[in-house]
Amino acid sequence: MRVLHTMIRVGDLERSIAFYTEVLGMRLLRRHDYPDGKFTLAFVGYGSEAAGAVIELTYNYGVDAYELGNAFGHIAIAVPDAAAACAAIRRRGGKVAREAGPMRHGSTVIAFVEDPDGYRIELIEEKP
């Protein structure tokens, strides 16, 4: 068994695809429209779906916003340098919600950014 993907609902599919590809540097792996079901799915990731987990962006026709709730936490991405990643994300128009620094009660360097729908993405600095 392995994790295939994480699905999040988005209010503007094009805006979300742009964020994940242009701001976070992922690739659009596939996209399929389901007009009978009134939704579109787009899968983004850093590598192929066969090689690792990806993110499924689900757009339901006519729904432009969702309440995030309090059960979902965040998506985590490994980066070589969290401060440099924050700077690059900011330059590309992304929102940094927490600057890079050690996590509370620990030493791992982390940062948080938000996608256009308010989902949080944790950047975890890889240790050498």
Residue 98, φ and ψ in degrees, nearest 5: -145, 125
How do the pLDDT tens digits run along the chain, 128 residues long?
788 999 999 999 999 999 999 999 999 999 999 999 999 999 999 999 999 999 999 999 999 999 988 888 999 999 999 999 999 999 999 999 999 999 988 899 999 999 999 999 999 999 87
CATH 3.90.1150.10 fits 5-60, yes or no: no
Percentage, residues of the chain above pLDDT 90: 89
The answer to whether the 5-60 and 75-125 domains have the same CATH topology is yes
List, in sequence order, the alpha helices (H) in the chain.
13-18, 82-91
Buried/exposed code over 28-67 (b: 16+ C-beta within 10 A; e: otherwise) = ebeeeeeeeeebbbbbbbbeeeeeeebbbbebeeeeeeee
Active site positions, annotated: 122
pLDDT in tens, 69-85: 888 899 999 999 999 99
Pick 75-125's CATH classification: 3.40.50.12280, 3.90.1170.50, 3.50.50.60, 3.10.180.10.
Answer: 3.10.180.10
Domain ranges of the chain: 5-60, 75-125
